[in-house]
Amino acid sequence: MSNAKVAFVRPPNLQKSGQWKKQGVIRCPLNIGLLASFIRERGDYDCVLVDFETTETSSITEMAEVVLAQSPRYVCMTTLTPRFPTAVRVAQEISRLDPAVTIIFGGPHVTGSPQTALYEGISYGIIGEGEQALLELLDTLEAGRDPSSVANLIYRDRNATRINDARPFVKNLDELPFPAWDLMNLDDYVDPAYFKGRHLAIFSGRGCPYDCTFCASRVTWQRKLRLRSADNVMQEIRHIVNVLGVRNLMFWDDTFAANKKRAISICNSIIEEGLDIRYTVQIRADALSDELIEALRDSGCGFAAIGVESGNERMLDNIGKRETKDRFRTAVSAMKRAGLPTIASYIIGLPGDTHETIKETMEFAMELDADQSKFMILAPYPGTRVYDIAFEKGLVDPTSFEQMEDLNYYDSVAINLSEVSDEDLIKYQDQAYEQYDAVHAS
């Protein structure tokens, strides 16, 4: 088998500003860590990882030179929509400096907008779950064969972009290797607001069975929920704690308690083994029970994040939330009684949002009074149902780099589906934080 070098690249987040930048938050590149681990184990490729969240550069050319200094035969770049324009520019500069390098794009943006993914300089794209597709593509290219039949592949056929059908998802997630943590400088990944020292992330499952109109989870995972076994999750936690020496974790599952019995089992194992970790989860309010809340608290959960989204019942119905204000009240009240810190998130500018419904959301946030509240402006990412609505209304330009870069939740409105002006949406976001901060400063 070939020992070709593959460079996995995370583009920089140029949208970091305000409090986010001030806090110095840097998350680990878990997705490309998983991909690198898989192709290294199954294909014996020589992998490196370049993280431009932690690598200081001053220009696109310098980024390209940093990547090429690794002497890769293949460059694989992950692409969230706001970072896609920068990724394209870096890819094009790499291609200009060394046309022999094969550049492969993947990630949520490519999956959500495959028809516009292959800019000049980008050799191939991969949609959906990437491990098996990337390995097959690399093996095919190394063997000198035509890759056009590789499932999940986006490729050029003369002047047309071809998008192959997606392959079935990996059935047993327990069979996948743990992330290639050895390719990263773990000390770089910090979040001073929540953790003392470095922190890492973990996926204990993939997908979400729900179908909220604003959520990009369905873009990649198609609402198909797959969970790792509790034993396999615990093996990874032990490795992170005992081998890597990291005790701060973020579970990046869309909803940690999709299987409540498994979630409680993981919590109880952490307690029984005395692992002494601090971790965070994202969870639905309707999944919370007193037993689960206590298990989370006692096993080291530093906070549970719930998506409330709106304080108006009609808006909750319209976005497919399938939860009610009373359900949120019950959940937050139970977490407060148990002493489990809560983060509640809200979306300003949902389709049809009015001055009245936005004010209801702000009032509901003050009523729930979570330990922390986040107020985000709607960002319709490609592949979501709100993006489809915006496209039908003629509000989307799939090739606009400026619009992509504005899809960042804070201080900008890229696509407005509400009945409120862009300026007022930003004002409401500022007011919501001011009101929340005023209450918690007293």
224 and 300: one domain?
Answer: yes
68 and 150: one domain?
Answer: yes
Identity (one letter) of the amino acid at 323?
Answer: E
141 and 208: one domain?
Answer: no
Distance in angstroms (rounded) separating the CA atoms of residues 255 and 240? 21
pLDDT band at 15 (very low <50, low <70, confident <90, very high): low
On average, the pLDDT of the chain sits at 95
Distance in angstroms (rounded) separating the CA atoms of residues 433 and 435? 5
* Token pair recorded at residue 285: 């309010």
Q: Which of 313, 436, 284 is nearest to 363 (CA)?
A: 436
Distance in angstroms (rounded) separating the CA atoms of residues 345 and 212? 14
219 and 158: one domain?
Answer: no
Residue 442: what pLDDT? 62
Residue 1 has pLDDT above 50, yes or no: no
Residue 19: what pLDDT? 43
Average pLDDT over residues 146-157: 97
Question: Mind listing the pLDDT tens digit for each residue in 94-149?
Answer: 999 999 999 999 999 999 999 999 999 999 999 999 999 999 999 999 999 999 99
Lowest mean pLDDT among 141-145, 146-150, 158-162, 377-381: 158-162
Residue 24: what pLDDT? 81
Residue 218: what pLDDT? 84
Cβ-contact 223, 208 below 8 angstroms: yes
43 and 103: one domain?
Answer: yes
Where a domain ends, among 163, 181, 211? 163
245 and 155: one domain?
Answer: no
Higher pLDDT, 205 or 223: 205
CATH of the domain at 424: 3.80.30.20
Look at the chain and report how many structural domains it folds into: 2
Average pLDDT over residues 399-407: 94
Within a domain: 179:
no
pLDDT band at 18 (very low <50, low <70, confident <90, very high): very low
Identity (one letter) of the amino acid at 234?
Answer: M
pLDDT band at 2 (very low <50, low <70, confident <90, very high): low
379 and 299: one domain?
Answer: yes
Residue 20: what pLDDT? 43
pLDDT band at 440 (very low <50, low <70, confident <90, very high): confident
Distance in angstroms (rounded) separating the CA atoms of residues 414 and 190? 29
20: containing domain: 5-163
pTM of the model as a whole: 0.95
Question: Mind listing the pLDDT tens digit for each residue in 178-195?
Answer: 999 999 999 999 999 899
Cβ-contact 95, 121 below 8 angstroms: yes
Residue 251 has pLDDT above 50, yes or no: yes
101 and 208: one domain?
Answer: no
Cβ-contact 322, 402 below 8 angstroms: no
Per cent of the chain over pLDDT 70 is 97
Question: Mind listing the pLDDT tens digit for each residue in 290-327?
Answer: 999 999 999 999 999 999 999 999 999 999 999 999 99
Name residues whose C-beta falls within 8 Å of residue 21's C-beta, 6 or more positions apart in sequence. Answer: none
